[in-house]
Chain A
Amino acid sequence: MPVPQIATFKLAAAPAATIAHGSAHETLIVANEGKHVQSIAGVMQSYMRVGGRCVLTRSDGSKWGKITPSHFKLGPNTSREVHVALTVPHGAKGQHDLLASFFGQVPGHGSVHVRGSVGSLLDVKLPGKSNACISLSAPVTHGGSPLVAIIIGVAVVAVLATVGVILRSRRNRRNKSVVS
């Protein structure tokens, strides 16, 4: 069993927040648990259902929010806070699954360079039809219009009713094992 030691990094979500009026600010913690300095890039992505498939898109995600700082370096066994500011774009409707992703890459030699990311889901619920990948039943703050419920990280745990659509599509082509 290989011992992962390269490009190991961790994301911890801040406490959940439910915010109305179309904007939210949250704090996440990104930690480098690897043995190498990593250059990390924070990217907002949208997790959308397109043609029956759930795909990550950057072009849509960037409309919704900003990660500050978006680029930083983390030494081994260090962590830092990053801030996510979300703003609902004008005219947006339906439910949206956004992913605050943090990409890390370390130098190496080979024909294929590999980089990995870990993300935290941010769920936005607006009135209207949804093309989100993950169906929400998250609490919505009533009393304003449009109503927006933004649940960061941990709140996602309660609302992933349709994630099975994604999960059942697994190809079983991997050799998966549990590390003991």
Chain B
Amino acid sequence: MKTLAKLAAVGASGALLAGIGAGVASADGPESDNATVTVAVDQASTFALDSPTIDLGHGLAGMSVTGTDGYQVTTNDPNGWAVQVSGSDFVGPETFPIGTLQLGGSPVTATPSTDDSDNKPTPVAGTHVNDHFAMTIPNVRVGAYQSTLTYNFVPG
């Protein structure tokens, strides 16, 4: 990915080492000097949401509504990555708990929990994850309700 290349810098760990000019010379030719070229590649990570909002639509109490969102992550950390997700309670004319919202069949929690992870770096082009949300509309007063989901991308 070109942006990773842009961020290459000297002085970090994860150094790449290349030797050039190995000093090979013919028996009757002049000997050459050796030169060592080093470059260090910094850790770089990206996180991109497909959409900043999820619209679950509307319905009556007891009805099921669904929505989707996704994200793409990239990291060159050889130890991989993890994404944790948490959410705030829905606020409107009254409140109801974030656990009403299901992510992949499990309730979303107020404290971050692992959404997805891998133990190796992403491909250079990145890894994309789709999240599927569902909710059974609770028996609350009529109105619009909002919550905020927070994704934490943790390289390493």
Which residues of A line the B interface, CB within 8 A?
Answer: 1-2, 4-16, 29, 31, 33-34, 45, 47, 53-56, 99, 101, 103, 105-121, 134, 153-158, 160, 163-164, 166-171, 173-180
Given the known interface contacts A167-B80, A174-B115, the answer about A4 and B151 at a Cβ–Cβ threshold of 8 Å is no
Interface-side segment among B16-24, B28-36, B127-135: B127-135
Which residues of chain A are within 8 angstroms of B149 by Cβ–Cβ distance?
Answer: 112-115
Given the known interface contacts A166-B114, A173-B106, the answer about A179 and B125 at a Cβ–Cβ threshold of 8 Å is yes
Given the known interface contacts A4-B50, A170-B117, A176-B129, the answer about A111 and B146 at a Cβ–Cβ threshold of 8 Å is yes
Against A, the Cβ 8 Å flags (1 = close, 0 = not) of B102-132 are 0111100001111111110011011111111
Would you call B147 and A118 a contact (CB within 8 A)?
A: no
Given the known interface contacts A13-B12, A33-B46, the answer about A163 and B119 at a Cβ–Cβ threshold of 8 Å is yes
Would you call A110 and B44 a contact (CB within 8 A)?
A: no
Q: Tell me, rounded to whole Å, the shortest Cβ–Cβ distance linking B135 to chain A.
A: 9
Give the residue of A109, A110, A160 whose beta carbon is less than 8 angstroms from that of B156.
A160
Would you call A119 and B117 a contact (CB within 8 A)?
A: no
Chain B interface residue count, CB cutoff 8 Å, equals: 77
Which residues of chain A are within 8 angstroms of B136 by Cβ–Cβ distance?
Answer: none
Listed by A's residue number, 10 A-B pairs whose Cβ atoms lie within 8 Å are A6-B52, A7-B47, A9-B48, A105-B52, A113-B149, A117-B151, A156-B155, A170-B116, A170-B118, A179-B72
Q: Is B70 an interface residue (CB 8 A)?
A: yes
Which residues of chain A are within 8 angstroms of B116 by Cβ–Cβ distance?
Answer: 170-171, 174, 176
Q: Tell me, rounded to whole Å, the shortest Cβ–Cβ distance linking B114 to chain A.
A: 6
Which residues of chain B are within 8 angstroms of A170 by Cβ–Cβ distance?
Answer: 114, 116-118
Which residues of chain B are within 8 angstroms of A16 by Cβ–Cβ distance?
Answer: 12-13
Which residues of chain A are within 8 angstroms of B79 by Cβ–Cβ distance?
Answer: 156-157, 160, 163
Which residues of chain B are within 8 angstroms of A119 by Cβ–Cβ distance?
Answer: 45, 152-155
Would you call B14 and A154 a contact (CB within 8 A)?
A: yes
- A126 CA / B115 CA spacing, docked (Å): 30
Q: Is B56 an interface residue (CB 8 A)?
A: yes
- A173 to B, closest residue via Cβ: B104
Give the residue of A155, A163, A174 whose beta carbon is less than 8 angstroms from that of B129.
A174
Would you call B155 and A106 a contact (CB within 8 A)?
A: no
Would you call B53 and A112 a contact (CB within 8 A)?
A: yes
Given the known interface contacts A112-B54, A157-B77, A166-B114, the answer about A118 and B42 at a Cβ–Cβ threshold of 8 Å is no
Would you call A114 and B128 a contact (CB within 8 A)?
A: no
Which residues of chain B are within 8 angstroms of A108 by Cβ–Cβ distance?
Answer: 51-53
- A103 to B, closest residue via Cβ: B150
